[in-house]
C-alpha cells in the first residue's frame, strides 16, 4: 500500500493539514491499534494546532512487537536470507523512500516544525543511509586466524538478534535509519520506538519496508510515550539497544540495560564549541556558525551552540553574524519563505526562555536578531548571548534551541581549555587558515567529531558518536559492523589421516 493512503498532508501554507488516519504501531507486518485504547495528540509546532492522533502503546503492545521480532529472528526468515537478497530489498526500500519523498518530507516538516526544505534534505539523507548499508550486506566478512597448525580457525560476523532503536524528534527519519539500516543489513530484526513528539515518518518507513519485501516481524515500530520506552528497555528478549536523545534519558536507558545485561550504544547531548581564530575566513566562519546553530531552530545534538572567538576579532565577528542572522525569516514549516521554524513544543519554548531570563538576570547580554515572530506556534527569535558569567549553566548546559553563547579566547591553550570545559564531547568546529593549528587542536579537542573550516557535515561513510557525557559507540561508517554483529570464533581440529 502506498503511504499516501496512510497519511496525507496538504501543501498549503495555512498549517491546517490533517493526518487522515491515526498513527498506529506497525507490528508483525500490520497496523496495530493500542491495546489500552489510548491516544496522544499530534501537534503542529508551527501553529499549535492538533493535526492528528498517535497511538500510545501499552507494555503489552510492546511485548507483541518484541515477540514478533524474536520469532522472526529465530526462524531465520531474514537472518538466513542470502546477503544478496537482503541487499536487493534494502536498495528497493531506498527507492521507495525516494518515490514517496515528498509526502515523507511534508509529514516530517509538520511533525517537527522544521522548514520543508530542511525536511527534504532529511529524507534524502535517510535514503542515502539505506543505500550505504544495503551495500554492506555483502561486505561484512570474517577472517582466517593463524592458529597452531593442528587447528583451522576462523572468525565470522553474525547478527545479534532483536535490536531496539529509540530515536528523538529532531531528525526522526535520518536517525532511525542510522540504526535500522545496519541492523537489517546484517540480519537482525528491529523494534523501533520513535519520540511521541514526531513518530509519523518512522511508521511510514515500516510500511515502506514491508512493501519492499522485508518479511513480517522483521521491522516493527511501536508508538507512544514513556510506558512504551520503559517496556522496551527492560525487556529480557532484546539483544541490543541503540538510543539517541538527552543525556538524562540515556542514563535511564543504560540503567535498564544493565539490569538485563543488554549491550547498548547511546548518542546523547552536546554543547559543541566553534573556535574562530583571527586568521579565519570571517565570511565563511559566519556562514558556518549560522548554519551550525540556526538550522532546525538549534535543535541539533551537534549544534555549535558555543562560539569561542579570538579577542581581536570579537566585535567584527558578532557584527557580521548579527547582520547575517537578521536576514533569516521565522515561519511555518510549509511557508516557502521560512528559514527558521519553531521549537518542538510549548514546554521546550518555556524551558529555553527560562534559561535566557536567568542568564540576563545574572548579567549576560541577550540579543535577539529578529522581531518578526509569528503570532501562533512555538517560536523564538535567534538569540546571541554574550558576557555570560563564569560557571553559568548557559555556557555549559545544552539548551536545544536557537541560542548561541559567545565567549572569547586569547591563544590556543585558552581556546582548548574553554572548549573542553563542559561535560559533553560530541563535536567541535575550527576556523583557521593555519593547517598545522588544525592538526594540533584536533588532537586536543575532546570531541567525537571535529570539523575544520566547515561544520555539521554528515555522510553515511563518516562514523559519528560522542565522548564523555555525549555517549559512546559509533553510528554510520564501517564501525556500525561492530555494533550490530558479534564475532564468532570457530576452531576445527585437523586430525591426522
Model confidence at 108: pLDDT above 90: yes
Domain assignment present for 395: yes
Residues 301 and 261 in one domain: no
Q: Strand order in 427-431's β-sheet?
A: 365-368, 383-386, 403-409, 306-310, 273-276, 427-431, 449-452
Total domains in the chain come to 2
Residues 224 and 337 in one domain: no
Alpha carbon distance 459, 396 (integer Å):
28
Q: Give the model's pLDDT for residue 154.
A: 97
**Stretch among 92-96, 152-156, 259-263, 388-392 having the lowest mean pLDDT:** 388-392
Residue 307 CB neighbours (<10 A) = 26
Q: Give the model's pLDDT for residue 468.
A: 96
Report, as an integer, the average pLDDT of 92-99: 98
Model confidence at 8: pLDDT above 70: no
Model confidence at 6: pLDDT above 70: no
Quick one: pLDDT band at residue 165, thresholds 50, 70, 90? very high
Domain assignment present for 495: no
Residues 442 and 385 in one domain: yes
- Alpha carbon distances (Å) from 214 to 98, 142, 219, 268, 364: 17, 25, 7, 30, 54
Quick one: pLDDT band at residue 371, thresholds 50, 70, 90? low
Model confidence at 271: pLDDT above 90: yes
Q: Where on the phi/psi map is residue 466: left (φ > 0), alpha (ψ -120 to 50), or beta?
A: beta
Specify the higher pLDDT residue, 6 or 308: 308
Q: Coil, strand, or helix at residue 78?
A: coil
Quick one: pLDDT band at residue 372, thresholds 50, 70, 90? confident
Report, as an integer, the average pLDDT of 296-306: 97
Report, as an integer, the average pLDDT of 387-399: 91
Residues 200 and 214 in one domain: yes
Q: Give the model's pLDDT for residue 1.
A: 41
% of the chain at pLDDT higher than 90:
92
Q: Strand order in 151-159's β-sheet?
A: 143-145, 151-159, 485-493
Q: Coil, strand, or helix at residue 397?
A: coil
Helix (H) or strand (E) holding 284: helix 282-294
Q: Specify burial of residue 110 (Cβ count, 10 A radius: 0-12, 13-18, 19+).
A: buried
Residue 409 sits in which domain range? 273-460
Q: Which CATH number belongs to the domain containing residue 83 in this structure? A: 3.40.605.10
Q: Give the model's pLDDT for residue 19.
A: 65
Domain assignment present for 465: no
Alpha carbon distance 253, 328 (integer Å):
38
Alpha carbon distance 111, 51 (integer Å):
9
Q: Give the model's pLDDT for residue 497.
A: 62
Domain assignment present for 139: yes
Model confidence at 430: pLDDT above 90: yes
Model confidence at 267: pLDDT above 60: yes
Locate all alpha helices (DSSP H) within 75-191, ordered by sequence.
Answer: 83-99, 101-112, 116-136, 172-185
Domain assignment present for 344: yes
Specify the higher pLDDT residue, 27 or 2: 27
Residues 397 and 383 in one domain: yes
Q: Coil, strand, or helix at residue 259?
A: helix
CA-based radius of gyration for the chain: 23
Residues 262 and 277 in one domain: no
Residue 375 CB neighbours (<10 A) = 6
- Alpha carbon distances (Å) from 72 to 29, 66, 77, 188, 219: 11, 10, 6, 9, 9
Alpha carbon distance 268, 473 (integer Å):
11
Report, as an integer, the average pLDDT of 444-463: 97
Domain assignment present for 95: yes
Residues 220 and 287 in one domain: no
- Alpha carbon distances (Å) from 95 to 6, 98, 186, 286, 394: 18, 5, 20, 37, 43
Report, as an integer, the average pLDDT of 128-152: 95
Closest CA to 6 of 177, 196, 206: 206
Report, as an integer, the average pLDDT of 366-371: 84
Closest CA to 221 of 207, 234, 233, 231: 207
Report, as an integer, the average pLDDT of 84-99: 98
> Nine-digit cell at 307?
562560539
Model confidence at 389: pLDDT above 70: yes
Residues 146 and 236 in one domain: yes
The whole-chain average pLDDT of the chain stands at: 94
Report, as an integer, the average pLDDT of 281-308: 97
Active site residues: 267, 301
Q: Residue for cell digits 494546532?
A: 49
Model confidence at 186: pLDDT above 50: yes
Residues 120 and 39 in one domain: yes
Report, as an integer, the average pLDDT of 7-26: 57
Quick one: pLDDT band at residue 202, thresholds 50, 70, 90? very high
Q: Give CA 130 to chain center in angstroms.
A: 15
Model confidence at 463: pLDDT above 50: yes
Residue 362 CB neighbours (<10 A) = 14
Q: Give the model's pLDDT for residue 245.
A: 96
Model confidence at 14: pLDDT above 50: no
Residues 331 and 225 in one domain: no
Q: Give the model's pLDDT for residue 471.
A: 95
Q: Which CATH number belongs to the domain containing residue 422 in this structure? A: 3.40.309.10
Report, as an integer, the average pLDDT of 174-196: 98
Residues 213 and 303 in one domain: no
Domain assignment present for 467: no
Domain assignment present for 30: yes
Residues 232 and 246 in one domain: yes
Largest Cα–Cα distance of the chain, in whole Å? Answer: 87
Amino acid at each position: 500500500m502506498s503511504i499516501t493512503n496512510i497519511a496525507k498532508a496538504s501543501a498549503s501554507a495555512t498549517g491546517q493539514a490533517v493526518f487522515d488516519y491515526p498513527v498506529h504501531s506497525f507490528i508483525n507486518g500490520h497496523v496495530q491499534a493500542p491495546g489500552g485504547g489510548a491516544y496522544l495528540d499530534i501537534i503542529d509546532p508551527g501553529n499549535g494546532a492538533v493535526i492528528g492522533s498517535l497511538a500510545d502503546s501499552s507494555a503489552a503492545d510492546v511485548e507483541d512487537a518484541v515477540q514478533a521480532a524474536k520469532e522472526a529472528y529465530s526462524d531465520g526468515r531474514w537472518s538466513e536470507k542470502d546477503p544478496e537478497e537482503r541487499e536487493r530489498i534494502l536498495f528497493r526500500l531506498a527507492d521507495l523512500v525516494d518515490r514517496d519523498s515528498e509526502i515523507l518530507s511534508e509529514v516530517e516538516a509538520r511533525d517537527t516544525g522544521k522548514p520543508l526544505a530542511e525536511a527534504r534534505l532529511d529524507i534524502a539523507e535517510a535514503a542515502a543511509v539505506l543505500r550505504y548499508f544495503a551495500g554492506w550486506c555483502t561486505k561484512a566478512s570474517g577472517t582466517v586466524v593463524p592458529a597452531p597448525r593442528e587447528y583451522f580457525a576462523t572468525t565470522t560476523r553474525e547478527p545479534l538478534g532483536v535490536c531496539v532503536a529509540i530515536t528523538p524528534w529532531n531528525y526522526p527519519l535520518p536517525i532511525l535509519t542510522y540504526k535500522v539500516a545496519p541492523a537489517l543489513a546484517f540480519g537482525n530484526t528491529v523494534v523501533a520506538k520513535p519520540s511521541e513528539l514526531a513518530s509519523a515518518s518512522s511508521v511510514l518507513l515500516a510500511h515502506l519496508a514491508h512493501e519492499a519485501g522485508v518479511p513480517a516481524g522483521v521491522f516493527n515500530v511501536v508508538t507512544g510515550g514513556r510506558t512504551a520506552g520503559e517496556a522496551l528497555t527492560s525487556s529480557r528478549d532484546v539483544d541490543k539497544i541503540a538510543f539517541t536523545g538527552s543525556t538524562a534519558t540515556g542514563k535511564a536507558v543504560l540503567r535498564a540495560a544493565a539490569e538485563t545485561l543488554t549491550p547498548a550504544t547511546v548518542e546523547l547531548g552536546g554543547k559543541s564549541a566553534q573556535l574562530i581564530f583571527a586568521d579565519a575566513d570571517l565570511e565563511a566562519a559566519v556562514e558556518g556558525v549560522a548554519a551550525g546553530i540556526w538550522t532546525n531552530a538549534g535543535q541539533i545534538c551537534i549544534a555549535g551552540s558555543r562560539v569561542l572567538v579570538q579577542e581581536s576579532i570579537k566585535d567584527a565577528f558578532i557584527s557580521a553574524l548579527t547582520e547575517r542572522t537578521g536576514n533569516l525569516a521565522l515561519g511555518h514549516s510549509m511557508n516557502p519563505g521560512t528559514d527558521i521554524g519553531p521549537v518542538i513544543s510549548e514546554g521546550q519554548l518555556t524551558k529555553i526562555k527560562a534559561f535566557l531570563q536567568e542568564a540576563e538576570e545574572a548579567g549576560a547580554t541577550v540579543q535577539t536578531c529578529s522581531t518578526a515572530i509569528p503570532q501562533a506556534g512555538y517560536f523564538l527569535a535567534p538569540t546571541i548571548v554574550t558576557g555570560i558569567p563564569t560557571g553559568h549553566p548557559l555556557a555549559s548546559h545544552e539548551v536545544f534551541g536557537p541560542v548561541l553563547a559567545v565567549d572569547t579566547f586569547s591563544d590556543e591553550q585558552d581556546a582548548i581549555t574553554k572548549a573542553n570545559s563542559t561535560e559533553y564531547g560530541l563535536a567541535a568546529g575550527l576556523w583557521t587558515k593555519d593547517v598545522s593549528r588544525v592538526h594540533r587542536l584536533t588532537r586536543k579537542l575532546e570531541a567525537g567529531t571535529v570539523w575544520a573550516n566547515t561544520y555539521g557535515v554528515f555522510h553515511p561513510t563518516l562514523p559519528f558518536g560522542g565522548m564523555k557525557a555525549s555517549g559512546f559507540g559509533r553510528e554510520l561508517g564501517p564501525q556500525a559492523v561492530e555494533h550490530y554483529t558479534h564475532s564468532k570464533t570457530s576452531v576445527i581440529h585437523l586430525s591426522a589421516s
